[in-house]
Amino acid sequence: MYNMNTVTLRQLRHDFAAVEDAAQKAPVKITRRGRVIGTFTAAKRGKRWSAPDLTTRAKAQFGERLTALSLIDELEREGGR
């Protein structure tokens, strides 16, 4: 699609990824039967999710007394919770 300032509803359904990429640059008008029915503007991309550092959290909470075996023993005592 060369002109992404305006797209039809059918084009939006069939090639959403290209329309979304174009909306990152500028708002895209969506038309149906020649009439504008909406404007598609992409939200700014947020910060990527990263997994928490559980080792650092465990050391901060339990200190150096926590090892893998002591953690397993603790979980068994609590019933696996």
pLDDT tens digits for range 20-77: 989 988 999 999 999 999 999 988 777 888 888 877 777 777 777 666 666 677 777 7
Q: Residue 35: what are its φ and ψ, rounded to 5°?
A: -110, 140
As a whole number of Å, the CA-based R_g of the chain is 26
Give dist(CA 5, CA 74) in Å, integer. Answer: 60
Q: What is the pLDDT of residue 8?
A: 94
- Residues contacting 36, CB < 8 A, separation 6+: 6, 29, 30
In Å, what is the CA distance from 12 to each residue of 2, 34, 72? 14, 14, 52
